[in-house]
Amino acid sequence: MPAQPLDGITVVALEQAVAAPYATRQLADLGARVIKVERPGRGDFAREYDREVKGMSAYFVWVNRGKESVVLDVKDAADRALLDALLARADVFVHNLAPGAVDRLGLSAEVLRAGHPRLINCAITGYGDHGPYRDKKAYDLLVQCEAGLLSITGSPEEPARPGISIADIAGGMYAYTGILTALYERERTGAGTDLSVSLLDALGEWMGHPYFAQAYGGGGVVRSGARHPSISPYGAYRCGDGAQVFLSVQNDREWITLCERVVGRPDLIRDPRFADNPLRRTHDEELTAELERSFADHTADGLVALLDGAGIANARLRDVAGLADHPQLAARERWGEFGSPVGPLRGLLPPVEVAGRQAALRPVPALGEHTDAVRAEFS
C-alpha cells in the first residue's frame, strides 16, 4: 500500500465519547498512529452506548477505527510515567476530558509547551476554558439547545433533535482541521502550538445563516419541517401515487424552467405571488398547492424523470438502509471492510479520496489490546 499522508505522525488521545474520537479517527484514516488511552475497567464509556454491531457499540465502531487501545491509570505512578513517555515522542496530544482534568494531571498547555516545544496540543471542551458555562456538562443534545439549533429544527409545532450527534461532529471536525493546520505550520516554523475547540463555538459557527437572518432580518429562521426556511419551492411534494418527491429551485431561471417544462403552467411565472424567491417563500403554502395539483398527474418515478430531464434538482427520501444500498455509492466502490473484535465490518471509505492511494481501513481495537506492546515499546 502506498504511504499515507500522515505516516510517521503519532497522536496520543485522552479521549472519550464522540467529539475527540471523531477528530482522531480522521487522522488515523490518513495514516497517523493514534494511541487511544482508556481508563481501566470499561474504557471509553462510548463502548457501552449500545450493542448494535454484533454486540459492540455502533458509536464506538464509528469513531475509533484504526487506533491502538492502551489502558492506563493515569493517577498511578508507573502508568503516568508511560503516558509521559508517550507524550515525549508524540506529535499531537488530543483530549476532551472534563474541564480542568488535564491541569490536575499536570498536563496543562503551559507544562506541555515547556517540555515538548514541537507538540501540538488540542483541547476539546463543551463551552470553553473560562466563562460561566466552563464547568457545565456539555452533552451533544444540550449543546444543540444552547446553540439555538433546536429552535429552528423540527415542525412548527415541536422542536426535534437532528438524527446525528451534530455538535460533537462539528467540534471534532474543527479539531481535525486545526490539527492539520498546526502540522503544516510546524513544518515551516519547527514549533508546535496549543489549540482549543469548544462545541458551542463550533456549532455556533454552523448557525451562521440563522444568526444573520435573526440579527439583521428581524424575523429570523423558523422551524419548517422538511421545507427550507428561506427558499421556495424547496422540500417535499406529493405526487399522484401518494409518494413524495423532494425538489429544489435555487434561482429564477430554474423557477421558469420548472413552470414551463415540468408543471406546464407558464402563467405561474407571471403570478405576482411568485415573482421572486422571497415572495414565493411568503406564499409557500399557496405555491405548494399549485405544484401538487400539477404533480397529481404523475407518479413519483415519472416526476423524477421529468425533473431530471429539465435539470431541476430532486431526490427521493431514503432511509438508512437505502443509504447502505445506494446505487451511487456502489457504482463508485465507496464501501470497504475493516477488522474488529467481532470480525470484519463494512463501512464507508473516508470522504476525502487521495489520488493513487488506498484508504487505510485499520481495525477497531479491543479494550487494552495494545497495552503490553506499547508498554514494551515506550518503557
Query: Is residue 219 packed enough to be buried (19+ CB in 10 Å), middle (13-18) or exposed (0-12)?
Result: exposed
C-alpha cell at 361: 481501513
Beta strand pairing status for 10-14 and 33-38? parallel
In terms of Cβ atoms closer than 10 Å to its own Cβ (0-12, 13-18, 19+), residue 34 is: buried
Q: How far apart are CA 23 and CA 164, in angstroms?
A: 16
Decide if 29 contacts 358 (C-beta within 8 A). Answer: no
AA letter at 187:
E
SS3 350: coil
Identify the residue whose cell numbers are 439583521. 216
Residues with a known catalytic role: 228
What distance in Å separates the CA atoms of residue 68 and residue 345, rounded to the nearest whole number? 17
What is d(CA 364, CA 67) in angstroms, rounded to the nearest whole number? 7
Cell numbers found for residue 202? 463550533
Tracing cell 481495525 back to the chain, one arrives at 363
Contacts 24+ apart (CB under 8 A), 244-247: 244/300, 244/317, 245/295, 245/300, 245/303, 245/304, 245/307, 245/314, 245/315, 245/316, 246/314, 246/315, 246/316, 246/317, 247/307, 247/312, 247/313, 247/314, 247/315
For the chain, list the strands marked E by DSSP: 10-14, 33-38, 67-71, 92-95, 120-125, 194-198, 234-238, 244-248, 313-315, 335-338, 345-348
